[in-house]
Amino acid sequence: MSRDVVVVTDPKVIKVGIEDTRRNILALLRFNDLAVSQIADVIGKDESTVYRHVEKLKAAGYIHATGERTVHHIPEKIYGRTAKVFLLSPDDFGKAEASKVLDKERRAQVEAAVRILSKAGYKPSDAEQAVDRLTEAFTEMDLRTFKIFSDVDDEALADQGKIVRARLLAMLLLLKSDAALAKKFAKALDGFSVV
């Protein structure tokens, strides 16, 4: 039985979950429980590689065996997520390992967002500077919003769409109430123009 939301606070467990291949596996398992061979087919990696990643995800508590199937008289375990949503919120942001891992992931997300915005016609005059400033601003925003959501019960966060909207609203409220943070985002967005 999977829970709706799990808040992950251990930096080592966070590191396991955000590695690219394991993140792809977790994304696939949001929709269906799958066997290692099925995961391997979808993500284009050999079964032994997928199996090693599945074992790490299982050991970290992200996934568990949900059943078994038989293919050509050979039993194969089926895996599913232990939660619909994982909120990554290290218990101590001062820990170098957690900060380093999350900063790298946050920067990659910001870079992707800037690329998407550029394709949609919102181009920064200096993409690298925009990414640097936005990464810094989102780091502060994430620190504050994750603390808010780590105290919310599972039932309230059962729907991914509701989580996204609630987080967006929390961000907007923080921007409204914190002039320094609003100024940081305004400066980060200053070089953007609609093309």
CATH code of residue 52:
1.10.10.10
**Candidate from 149-153, 160-164, 187-191 with smallest mean pLDDT:** 149-153
Rounded to 5 degrees, φ, ψ at 92 are -140, 100
**Candidate from 50-54, 113-117, 135-139 with smallest mean pLDDT:** 135-139
In a shared domain, residues 98 and 186: yes
Mean pLDDT of the 127-142 span? 88
Residue where a domain stops, chosen among 61, 86, 111? 86
**Running DSSP on this structure, what letter comes out for residue 122?**
E
Query: pTM higher than 0.85, yes or no?
Result: no
Token output for 9: 């606070």
| 1-51 pLDDT per residue, tens | 566 778 787 878 888 888 889 989 998 998 889 999 999 999 999 999 999
Count H helices and E strands in the chain, helices first. 8, 7
Full residue range of the structural domain in which residue 55 is found: 3-86
pLDDT band for position 134 (50/70/90)? very high
In a shared domain, residues 101 and 71: no
**Running DSSP on this structure, what letter comes out for residue 86?**
E
| 24-38 pLDDT per residue, tens | 999 899 888 999 999
| 67-114 pLDDT per residue, tens | 988 888 888 999 999 988 887 776 554 455 666 777 788 888 899 999
Residue where a domain stops, chosen among 70, 86, 102? 86
In a shared domain, residues 118 and 79: no
- The count of structural domains within the chain is 2
**Running DSSP on this structure, what letter comes out for residue 148?**
H
Residue where a domain stops, chosen among 86, 118, 147? 86
In a shared domain, residues 76 and 102: no
In a shared domain, residues 66 and 32: yes
| pLDDT (0 to 100) of residue 153 | 60
In a shared domain, residues 107 and 32: no
**Running DSSP on this structure, what letter comes out for residue 82?**
S
pLDDT band for position 159 (50/70/90)? low
pLDDT band for position 171 (50/70/90)? confident
In a shared domain, residues 188 and 98: yes
Rounded to 5 degrees, φ, ψ at 39 are -60, -45
